[in-house]
A = this chain, B = another copy of it.
Amino acid sequence: MMREIKIYSPATVSNIGCGFDTMGFALDEYCEEIVLRTSTNSGVRVVKITGDHGEIPYDNDQNTATKALLAFIEKHPIEFGLEIEIHKKMGLGSGLGSSAASAVSSVFGLNYLLGNPFDNNQLLLFALEGEKIASKATHADNVAPCLFGGFVLISSYEPLNIIKLPVPNDLYCAILHPQIEIKTSEARALLGDTIKLKNAVTQWGNVGGLVAGLYKSDYELIGKSIKDKVAEPLRSKLIPGYESIKESAYNAGAIGCNISGSGPAMFALSVTKEKAQKVAEAMKNACDKIDVENKIYVSSINQNGPLIKE
């Protein structure tokens, strides 16, 4: 019997300023709709891609969704074929975890179709195989929050260890997405292989502060900890008007503002939805002033991971 489901995986903010490659959180905004349809023709294939999709390839080995599915199927062979439609809302290269969302949606969806043989920790490994294609590096700070929801710490990569952190009640996120593309792989290439020990110490003080702030629901501490000595100084140069947009967010009452992932999207955390709305508008105004087309989102923190509709 043919089955068809739709999967909606959250957009995610990785790094959160201080936690390069180790922290991220999920938004109640979805990157795309993925349709997964069983088929009597064996094999996996992308049959349709629509929306703001840039250069998403149909080739199974180059597509994050199918690459993740193939990793899943290698561990758990299936007796039916799969057709996939990808309807993008937030494009690749946004800094909002769009490629991670595709990888997560596909394996989360297949797992659902099979009656959930795998838990999230196992699905994460499959999704990472897809994510690798997009970023040319294994980093889990989008796929993990996308799959688990909420705030996530990757405390270790070898072996992979994911820790869900508490989500303070009144935290809302404003996103400014300038309509330019920054490829994750290029943004990563900007970073050197070494950093100053002094900056590293500052950074791990902030990581500790952010984790503690989330446990304590201490908004001041959360805000103070959202700083970056590693990627922001280099990557912010790729985002037109970065400093003025950031300043406008703080002036409007944001507790913390930084680059989302490798950009160009920027995020700002605020206490209460009303404040986040004000902050989003201030960021938009600052971006409009320099004539860069942009979109804004105001979102609560997604606590559930992907959503499935049958």
A residues contacting B by CB (< 8 A) are 18-23, 153-157, 161, 163, 165, 191-198, 200-212, 215, 221, 224-225, 230
Contact = CB atoms under 8 A, between A and B. Distances in A.
The listed residue with most B CB atoms (<10 A of its CB), out of A154, A192, A215, is A215
B200 A191 contact: no
B20 A208 contact: no
A161 B200 contact: no
B212 A155 contact: yes
Nearest to A159: B224
A197 B195 contact: yes
A205 B157 contact: yes
A224 B161 contact: yes
5 contacts: A19-B204, A22-B204, A153-B209, A163-B209, A211-B212
A195 B207 CA distance: 17
B20 A206 contact: no
A22 B200 CA distance: 11
B157 A202 contact: yes
B21 A154 contact: no
A22 B205 contact: yes
B202 A200 contact: no
Contact of A21 (B21, B201, B207, B225): B201
Contacts of A156: 202, 205-206, 209, 224
Contact of A221 (B19, B20, B163, B221): B163
A204 B203 contact: yes
B22 A212 contact: no
Contacts of A205: 22, 153-157
B192 A197 contact: yes
A71 to B, nearest CB: 23
Contacts of A163: 208-209, 212, 221
A38 to B, nearest CB: 39
Contacts of A22: 201, 204-205, 208
A181 B224 CA distance: 38
A245 B259 CA distance: 44
B195 A230 contact: no
B207 A204 contact: yes
Contacts of A23: 208
Given A203-B204, A211-B212, A215-B215, A230 B153 contact: no
